[in-house]
């Protein structure tokens, strides 16, 4: 089959590789009908995520048709059309049973690696480095899905692939980020990063009863989408002082909740941002955290900072003093996709939201390397790329 | 909480015997050579004789105690005490490993699975097979270095249903070892805590050194990964893997 493989920083290629096979009794094989490039895939392209190996197949947002099942799979049949959560969960451990699917104890075959780095390991992920399990990803014609009686979720016939694909990651991720804001009716939610996760976070904030939603970015196309499609007020961080602007918009109080939907590769022009760029460029730091610093700084007293943006390492100059002094609540983490999937599928079926609005580019899998570069450069208004194998 | 493996023997003589790792022939040879060297050295103290006297003194000590530090370090034992599990694992001599894991399954299920020792190779990666001989005695085969096979018999010498299983190797073992596994109820709704205490000794005759390599420098890692697989098998029904998947 064809698959998008990682070879080195800035080097991804479409290669011919063997088809996947059933390896465990609870596996299924999915024939991919639609897949996407995630913003977090760019961290792989940029070499920010350790334990990648040459030839690793990328991709954790994918859906398709079941073409084979292991002997213990009872819930899925060949021919079923499913979306597949990017977090792999066994369903039997304490964490899965608490609904903390992304904290699954049993799905990461390389758990020891993360235990060394983080103390404990979360769930395995598709196509996202060996410390996250080393599972081959879904930017391919076929993909093997472990614990397939837990993750894959059947899609109603009337919904198109483009409408449901983002249930695999970014829609639930944006939704959980908004839910982590503990929104009460009338709250103001400010979202740093108007990429796809930021867009879905803004849309979800409305679904959860926010009174005002503010999107912050520096890309005109993304700000336009935030205003037009996610119905947010927008701030261009290259044009205004974000802290002053947010104060003005909130009667001097600050947003009730601030969301960092940017993560470890933030771009900015403050002294702190240049400090991070210098340190990461010289391998003295692992993450750039301009968005996180600003979110903490701008948040109202007693407010919430929610972090769906991915961080990987040890962060420098985090304003914990400000967070402490203001009594902030901070929530973060990998998305418990399984928990949100049924309800969000319901929202789509009811017509409350059509997540396909973030798609700006449609490509063939063969063009994936080019699509990665376009997406990274935000060239041609690129916000979200979907690909057909 | 843990089953400490202690072997109640109060006789001082038994303790002395357990320190022995020299045969009687070597013991007497050490004494004779030690005495001769010491006498020779003492007679020439002015021309470096003190060196001979010092070495002689060490040999005398080796003969009197029937214990050789070098033998211990390289895993040799000519006294015939290595086959005795108690002697081999006494005090600081055996390597001790203690690991625990919490499993989201009822105590009875975990106990039953473990008590059927033939299940152990499903999650203990260095084991090739365990065969039941009697209800309490079993025959174990493990992968040794360079394709070799290590074998031993073990007996369960203590068991409390749904609480504890303790075992030790029997005489003539390639691997002198003893271990216990405890099953405890974790706090409400949090499953079962499984604690493994394993002792093994590199004083295992001809394969002592091989055993050390078998467990690597880090036996704790080995046991921790075994327990992780035990948990995966019981909670998820399979051990997750990526071996055999495609790559570019």
Does residue B134 belong to the interface with chain A, where contact is any CB pair within 8 Å? no
Write out chain B residues lying below 8 Å of A5, CB-based. 247-248
pLDDT band at A60 (very low <50, low <70, confident <90, very high): very high
Which uninterrupted H or E stretch holds B155?
strand B149-160
Alpha helices in chain B (DSSP H): 12-19, 24-43, 49-65, 69-74, 85-89, 107-115, 208-214, 219-236
Round the average pLDDT of chain B to a whole number and report it. Answer: 81
Q: Is the dihedral of CA B69, B72, B76, B78 positive or negative?
A: positive
Instruction: Determine the Cα–Cα distance for residues B117 and B212; give it in Å rounded to an integer.
Output: 23
pLDDT tens column, A239-262: 999 999 999 999 999 999 999 999
pLDDT band at A27 (very low <50, low <70, confident <90, very high): very high
Identify which of A53, A91, A106 has the shortest CB distance to residue B232: A106
Read off the pLDDT of each residue in A23-38 and give the average, rounded to a whole number.
98
Read off the pLDDT of each residue in A39-62 and give the average, rounded to a whole number.
95
Half-sphere exposure of A127 (CA within 13 A, CB side): 34
> Cβ contact (<8 Å) for B235 and A93?
yes
Q: Report whether pLDDT(B180) > 80.
A: yes
Read off the pLDDT of each residue in A36-44 and give the average, rounded to a whole number.
95
Q: Report whether pLDDT(B209) > 50.
A: no
Read off the pLDDT of each residue in A332-359 and give the average, rounded to a whole number.
97
CA distances from A339 to A243, A344, B201 (A): 34, 10, 49
Instruction: Determine the Cα–Cα distance for residues B174 and B172; give it in Å rounded to an integer.
Output: 7
> Cβ contact (<8 Å) for A1 and B191?
no
Cα pseudo-dihedral A27, A28, A31, A37, rounded to 10? -50
Q: Report whether pLDDT(A28) > 70.
A: yes
pLDDT at B72: 66
B72 or A109: which leads in pLDDT: A109
Interface residue of B194, B228, B236, B237 to substitute, partner A, most A CBs within 10 Å? B236
Nearest-CA distance from B198 to chain A in Å?
21
Write out chain B residues lying below 8 Å of A54, CB-based. 248
> Cβ contact (<8 Å) for A133 and B240?
yes
DSSP letter, residue B202: S
Nearest-CA distance from A109 to chain B in Å?
6
- Report the SS3 class of residue B101: strand
Read off the pLDDT of each residue in A350-370 and give the average, rounded to a whole number.
97
Please tell me the pTM assigned to this model.
0.83
Q: Report whether pLDDT(A273) > 80.
A: no
Q: Report whether pLDDT(B194) > 60.
A: yes
Write out chain A residues lying below 8 Å of B102, CB-based. 94
- Report the SS3 class of residue B29: helix
Does residue B205 belong to the interface with chain A, where contact is any CB pair within 8 Å? no
Interface residue of A93, A96, A369 to substitute, partner B, most B CBs within 10 Å? A93
Write out chain A residues lying below 8 Å of B235, CB-based. 90, 92-93, 105-106
Instruction: Determine the Cα–Cα distance for residues B121 and B224; give it in Å rounded to an integer.
Output: 15
Residues on chain A bordering chain B, Cβ-to-Cβ distance under 8 angstroms: 1, 3, 5-7, 13, 15, 17-21, 23-26, 53-57, 72, 90-94, 97, 105-109, 111-112, 124, 133-136, 140, 144, 146-147
Q: Which residue of B has its CA nearest to A6?
A: B248
Return the percentage of chain A with pLDDT > 70, whole number.
98
> Cβ contact (<8 Å) for B235 and A72?
no
pLDDT band at B88 (very low <50, low <70, confident <90, very high): low
> Cβ contact (<8 Å) for A25 and B238?
yes
pLDDT band at B214 (very low <50, low <70, confident <90, very high): low
pLDDT at A336: 98
∠ CA A141-A147-A148, rounded to 5°: 50
- The radius of gyration of chain A's CA atoms, rounded to the nearest angstrom, is 20
> Cβ contact (<8 Å) for A94 and B104?
yes
Contact by Cβ (8 Å): A277, A288 = yes
Does residue B187 belong to the interface with chain A, where contact is any CB pair within 8 Å? no
Per-residue three-class SS string for chain A:
CEEEEEEECCEEEEEECCCCCCCCCCCEEEEEEEEEECHHHHHHHCCCCCCCCCCEECCCEEEEEEEEECCCCCCCCCCCEEEECCEECCCCCHHHHCCCHHHCCCCCCCHHHHHHHHCCCCCEEECCCCCCCCECCCCECEEEECCCCCCCEECCCCCCHHHHHHHHCHHHHHHHHHHCCCCCCCCEEEEECCCHHHHHHHHHHHHCCCCEEEEEECCHHHHHHHHHCCCCEEEECCCCCHHHHHHHHCCCCCCCEEEECCCCECCCCCHHHHHHHHHHHCCCCCCECHHHHHHHHHCCCCCEEEECCCCCCCCCCCCHHHHHHCCCEEEECCCCHHHHHHHHHHHHHHCCCCHHHHCCEEEEHHHHHHHHHHHHHCHHHCCCEEEEC
CB contact set of A156 (below 8 Å; sequence gap of 6+): A345, A349
pLDDT at B220: 78
pLDDT at A177: 98
Point out which residues pair with A66 in neighbouring strands.
A30
> Cβ contact (<8 Å) for A124 and B191?
no
Instruction: Determine the Cα–Cα distance for residues A146 and B242; give it in Å rounded to an integer.
Output: 10
Using the CB atoms, write b or e for B173-208: b if 16+ within 10 Å.
bbbbbbbbbbbeeeeeeebbbbbbbbbbbbbbbebb
Residue A95 phi, psi dihedral angles, 5° rounding: -70, -45
pLDDT at B79: 63
CB contact set of A56 (below 8 Å; sequence gap of 6+): A5, A6, A127, A129, A130, A134, A136, A137, B247, B248
- The radius of gyration of chain B's CA atoms, rounded to the nearest angstrom, is 23
Read off the pLDDT of each residue in A271-287 and give the average, rounded to a whole number.
71
Q: Is the dihedral of CA A321, A323, A324, A330 positive or negative?
A: negative
Read off the pLDDT of each residue in B142-153 and give the average, rounded to a whole number.
84
Identify which of A94, A144, A147 has the shortest CB distance to residue B245: A144
Identify which of B228, B244, B248 has the shortest CB distance to residue A5: B248
Read off the pLDDT of each residue in A191-218 and give the average, rounded to a whole number.
97
Read off the pLDDT of each residue in A17-30 and give the average, rounded to a whole number.
98
> Cβ contact (<8 Å) for B104 and A3?
no
pLDDT at B7: 44
> Cβ contact (<8 Å) for B241 and A24?
yes
Question: What's the ipTM?
Answer: 0.90
Widest CA span of chain A, in angstroms? 61
Contact by Cβ (8 Å): A140, A2 = yes
pLDDT tens column, B20-34: 677 777 777 788 888
> Cβ contact (<8 Å) for B190 and A94?
yes
Interface residue of A16, A70, A105, A127 to substitute, partner B, most B CBs within 10 Å? A105
Does residue B246 belong to the interface with chain A, where contact is any CB pair within 8 Å? yes
Contact by Cβ (8 Å): A264, A277 = no
Read off the pLDDT of each residue in A259-273 and give the average, rounded to a whole number.
79
Closest CA to B245 of A72, A88, A134, A45: A134
How many contacts (CB atoms, under 8 Å) link A and B? 93
Q: Which residue has the tokens 């009338």?
A: A186
pLDDT at B78: 65
Instruction: Determine the Cα–Cα distance for residues B244 and B231; give it in Å rounded to an integer.
Output: 23
pLDDT band at B213 (very low <50, low <70, confident <90, very high): low
Instruction: Determine the Cα–Cα distance for residues A104 and A32; give it in Å rounded to an integer.
Output: 25
Write out chain B residues lying below 8 Å of A56, CB-based. 247-248
Round the average pLDDT of chain A to a whole number and report it. Answer: 95
pLDDT tens column, B45-83: 777 888 888 888 888 888 777 777 777 666 566 665 555
> Cβ contact (<8 Å) for B248 and A7?
yes
> Cβ contact (<8 Å) for B246 and A90?
no
Contact by Cβ (8 Å): A126, A47 = no
Q: Which residue of A has its CA nearest to B227?
A: A106
pLDDT tens column, A118-168: 999 999 999 999 999 999 999 999 999 999 999 999 999 999 999 999 999
């Amino acid at each position: 089959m064809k698959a998008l493989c990682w070879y080195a920083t800035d080097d991804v290629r479409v290669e011919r590789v063997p088809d996947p096979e059933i390896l465990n009794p609870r596996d299924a094989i999915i024939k991919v009908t639609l897949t996407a490039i995630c913003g977090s895939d760019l961290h792989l392209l940029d070499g920010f995520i350790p334990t990648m190996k040459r030839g690793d197949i990328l991709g954790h947002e994918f859906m398709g048709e079941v073409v084979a099942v292991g002997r213990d799979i009872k819930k899925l049949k060949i021919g079923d059309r499913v979306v597949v959560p990017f977090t792999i969960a066994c369903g039997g451990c304490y964490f899965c049973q608490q609904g903390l699917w992304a904290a699954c104890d049993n799905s990461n075959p390389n758990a020891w690696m993360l235990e060394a780095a983080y103390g404990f390991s979360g769930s395995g992920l598709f196509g996202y480095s060996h410390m996250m399990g080393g599972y081959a990803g879904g930017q391919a014609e076929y993909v093997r899905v472990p614990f397939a009686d837990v993750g894959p979720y059947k899609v109603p016939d009337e919904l198109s692939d483009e409408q449901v694909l983002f249930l695999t990651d970014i829609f639930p991720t944006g939704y959980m980020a908004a839910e982590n804001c503990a929104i009460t009716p009338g709250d103001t939610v400010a979202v740093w990063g108007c990429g796809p996760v930021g867009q879905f976070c803004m849309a979800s904030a409305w679904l959860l009863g926010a009174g005002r939603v503010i999107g912050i970015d520096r890309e005109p196309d993304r700000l336009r989408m935030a205003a037009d499609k996610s119905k947010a007020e927008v701030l261009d961080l290259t044009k205004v002082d974000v802290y002053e602007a947010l104060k003005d918009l909130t009667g001097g109080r600050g947003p009730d909740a601030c969301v960092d939907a940017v993560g470890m590769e933030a771009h900015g022009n403050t002294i702190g941002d240049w400090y991070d760029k210098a340190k990461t460029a010289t391998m003295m730091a692992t993450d750039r955290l301009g968005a996180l610093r600003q979110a903490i700084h701008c948040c109202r007293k007693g407010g919430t900072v929610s972090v769906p943006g991915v961080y990987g390492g040890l962060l420098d100059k985090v304003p914990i003093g400000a967070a402490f002094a203001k009594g902030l609540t901070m929530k973060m983490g990998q998305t418990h996709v399984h928990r949100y999937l049924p309800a969000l599928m319901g929202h789509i079926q009811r017509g409350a939201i059509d997540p396909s609005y973030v798609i700006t580019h449609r490509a063939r899998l063969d063009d994936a390397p080019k699509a990665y570069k376009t997406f990274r450069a935000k060239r041609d208004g690129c916000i979200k790329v979907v690909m057909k194998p | 909480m843990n089953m400490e493996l202690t072997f109640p023997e109060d006789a001082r003589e038994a303790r002395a015997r357990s320190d022995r790792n020299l045969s009687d022939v070597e013991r007497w040879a050490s004494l004779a050579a030690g005495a001769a060297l010491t006498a020779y050295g003492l007679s020439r103290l002015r021309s470096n004789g003190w060196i001979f006297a010092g070495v002689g003194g060490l040999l005398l000590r080796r003969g009197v105690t029937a214990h050789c530090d070098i033998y211990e370090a390289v895993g040799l034992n000519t006294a015939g005490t290595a086959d005795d599990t108690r002697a081999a694992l006494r005090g600081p001599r055996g390597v001790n490993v203690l690991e625990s894991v919490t499993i989201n399954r009822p105590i009875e299920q975990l106990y039953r699975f473990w008590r059927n020792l033939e299940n152990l190779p499903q999650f203990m990666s260095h084991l090739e097979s365990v065969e039941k001989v009697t209800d309490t005695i079993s025959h174990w085969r493990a992968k040794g270095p360079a394709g070799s096979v290590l074998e031993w018999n073990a007996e369960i010498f203590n068991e409390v249903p749904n609480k504890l299983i303790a075992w030790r190797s029997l005489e003539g073992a390639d691997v002198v070892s003893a271990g216990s596994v405890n099953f405890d109820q974790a706090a409400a709704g949090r499953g079962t805590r499984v604690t493994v205490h394993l002792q093994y000794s590199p004083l295992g005759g001809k394969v002592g050194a091989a055993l050390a390599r078998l467990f690597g420098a880090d036996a704790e890692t080995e046991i921790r990964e075994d327990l992780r697989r035990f948990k995966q098998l019981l909670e998820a029904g399979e051990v997750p893997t990526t071996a055999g998947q495609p790559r570019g």
